[in-house]
Amino acid sequence: MRIAINGMGRIGRLLFRRLLHHPGVELVAVNDIMPMENLAYLVKYDSVYGTFPEPVNMEGDIIVAAGQSIKAFRADHPSQLPWKELGVDVVLECSGSFSNHAAATEHLKAGAKKVLLSTTGSADIPLLIYGFNHSAVTAGTHIISPGGCMTNCSVHVLYILNAIGIKSAQLNILHSYTSRQELVDAPHKQFRRGRAAAESIIPVEIDLHQSLEKLMPGMQNRIAAVSTRIPVANGAMADFTVQLNEAVSVHQINTLFKKAAQGEYKGILDYTEEPLVSLDIKGNTHSCLIDGTLTSVVGQQVKLIAWFDNEYGFTSRMIDWLDYWKKIL
Distance CA 288, CA 76 (A): 35
Task: Label residues 33-58 b or e (16+ Cβ within 10 Å = b).
Answer: eeebeebbebbbeeebbeebeeebeb
Q: Which positions ≥6 away from 314 have C-beta within 8 Å?
A: 11, 118, 148, 149, 152, 287
Of 10, 191, 195, the C-alpha closest to 118 is 10
Closest CA to 163 of 292, 264, 238, 298: 264
User: So which residues are the catalytic ones?
Assistant: 149
**What strands, in cross-sheet order, belong to the sheet with 56-59?**
56-59, 62-65, 68-73, 26-31, 2-6, 90-93, 114-117, 143-144
